Amino acid sequence: MKGARASRTTIALKLGMAISGIIFLGFVLAHMYGNLKAFAGHDAFNEYAEHLREIGEPMLPHEGLLWILRVGLIAALVVHVYCAVVLWRRAARARGTKYVTKKQTGATRASLMMRWGGVTILLFLVWHLLNFTIGKVNVQGGATNDPYNLLVDTFDVWWLTLIYLVAMLALGAHLHHGIWSAAQTLGWTGTAAKRQRAKTVGFVVALIVTVGFSLVPLGVLAGIITK
């Protein structure tokens, strides 16, 4: 084909999704680690939050590294969503006429939920940032300048806990297929054994992330994490 460019292909878009997805995975694991500090009590949790803002000082300004990471995450989000939208529209066009009867033989449920699951996670992300970072919403009306107390106040409300638990299930399903899929897109699964390994890693990491994040709201619900 005249003028064919590798960087303009659908596979290049998939590579964009895989690399940005791996960046998110790194973030999510670090975030989960920070959340689990809630089990160490009020001071440990808040100190960790403060330390995040002090990393690299005095070489970096206050919150310097945090902003570098934030810019990186925003860039990854733009790439991930842009590639997903382009590929979603292309897939819809490629199967313009639907089947009257179609079975999804060979497909896992998680693999079929990637797009709407991704939209769910994106909507949750908006709420989550309003809740804890940008807006600092405390539905109980308490203080919002104390990260630990805001966390406890939030998860004392059953329906907020429910939103977070559902979101973590969506994230788990997304990672379950997404991690192995990224490995496949990057060309790391050239044999049946490597493919199985990537799928196992995907499932285990997804399980760790879902359980790890859910422990904190469940801990508040169970009265283990209190003010």
Partner 1 sequence: MKLTLKIWRQAGPTDKGAIHTYQLDDVSPDMSFLEMLDVLNEQLNAEGEEPIAFDSDCREGICGMCGLMINGDAHGPEVTTTCQLHMRSFSDGETITIEPWRSEAFPVLKDLVVDRSAFDRIIQQGGYISVNTGSAPEAHSVPVPRDDAMRAFNVATCIGCGACVAACPNGSASLFMGAKITHLGELPQGQPERDSRVVNMVAQHDAEGFGGCTNIGACTAACPKEIPLDVISQLNKDLRTAIKHGH
Give the whole-angstrom CA distance, residue 124 versus residue 173: 15
**Residue 144 sits in the site that holds partner 1 (CB under 8 A):** no
Note whether 116 and 176 are within 8 A (CB).
Answer: no
Of 19 and 165, which has the nearer Cβ to partner 1? 19
Residue 213 — φ and ψ, nearest 5°?
A: -70, -35
Site for partner 1 in 55-94 (CB under 8 A): 87, 90-91, 93-94
Of 14 and 128, which has the nearer Cβ to partner 1? 14
**Residue 181 sits in the site that holds partner 1 (CB under 8 A):** yes
**Residue 9 sits in the site that holds partner 1 (CB under 8 A):** yes
Residue 75 — φ and ψ, nearest 5°?
A: -60, -45
Of 140 and 184, which has the nearer Cβ to partner 1? 184
**Residue 190 sits in the site that holds partner 1 (CB under 8 A):** yes
Contact residue for partner 1 among 10, 133, 200, 226 (CB under 8 A): 10
**Residue 194 sits in the site that holds partner 1 (CB under 8 A):** yes
Nearest to residue 223, comparing CAs of 165, 168, 160, 152?
A: 152
Q: Applying CB under 8 A, which part among 5-13, 53-61, 127-135, 210-218 lies near partner 1?
A: 5-13
**Residue 8 sits in the site that holds partner 1 (CB under 8 A):** yes
Residues 6+ apart with CB under 8 A from 181: 18, 111, 114, 202
For the beta carbon of residue 140, count every other beta carbon within 10 angstroms.
14
Contact residue for partner 1 among 177, 209, 213, 216 (CB under 8 A): 177
Residue 149 — φ and ψ, nearest 5°?
A: -65, -35
Site for partner 1 in 92-131 (CB under 8 A): 93-108, 111-112, 114
Note whether 144 and 137 are within 8 A (CB).
Answer: yes
